[in-house]
Structure 1
Amino acid sequence: MSPKPSALSWLWLTAVVLVLDQLSKVWAVHALQPEGVPHVVIPGFLNWTLAFNTGAAFSFLASSAGWQRWFFALLALVIGVVLIVWLKRTPRSDHRNAVPLALIIGGAWGNLIDRLHQAKVTDFIHVHYYDTWNYPVFNVADCAITVGAVALVAFGLFAKKDPAGG
């Protein structure tokens, strides 16, 4: 009996996320100079604003002495490997798990490339509401991680239960 095909075939989506993330960051670095200057896309709501983050989400640990680069790089690498193992154990047809996992891997490794290459993550998407509310600047990799994580939780919460108790 041959083994069932695994969801590793969904790694094409990881590759798409990586390419889109890296290309968008190259564009941002070249088109959005100088750093910190907003380029209005939708007035009062969306700007392209070049920013760099040496920490994690919401600049967590950004002001640390530099060790955080290697900590977050190792964390992204380990998370990616664990999720690839999860994909390998997931049936190819289980898109409810495979797609979110592939998105998270692509996002984590997109930011990993930045950390290894330049010791900081390039961000450029700035969502805000006029001058009353600002969300921290983020990137395509962050979007993939967030969408993947939310989808995993949502699909897990709303999965159809097996009446046989499994």
Structure 2
Amino acid sequence: MTELNVRKTQDEALDRIREQLLKLGNLAQDAIRKAVWALEKQDEALSREVLEGDDVLDELASGIEEGCLLFTARYQPVAQDLRTISAINRMAIDLERIGDLGVSIAKITRFFFGKTLIKPLIDIPRMAAIVEEMIDGTMRAFINRDTEEAKKVCALDDMLDDLDRQI
């Protein structure tokens, strides 16, 4: 195999892992969105859907991690490729955790189903909207290698921390 063919194969492998990461981002967003909606509307069926979708999210995250390890072992990336594959692996871990937080919200929904909430849900939906915006921004920053977009995500994280302290 020529060096050009190896590079093309390496780029294709990295593109496949990137595509999986984008899919994972969408699944994590869906989990949060559906879980918070289920909590707001006391929708037990939707909370069950979030719980059932967790396995798909976990498997995809594991597949990305495995893909990153195989990519590293096979191509021994350096410089930009090493930073990219490391970032993908870290993002996959964080996105899987976000999906798990959606599952936790879905479990809480099932616990409170049919009960009156003590406090109206104001901050949690706002936090969920910020998380969705952060995921979108992170994906855009990653795909476009946009440091300004990444800085915006950091500012959103500060807003999220402020809301978390208020709850």
| TM-score where L is the length of structure 1 | 0.38
What TM-score does the superposition give when structure 2 sets the normalisation length? 0.38
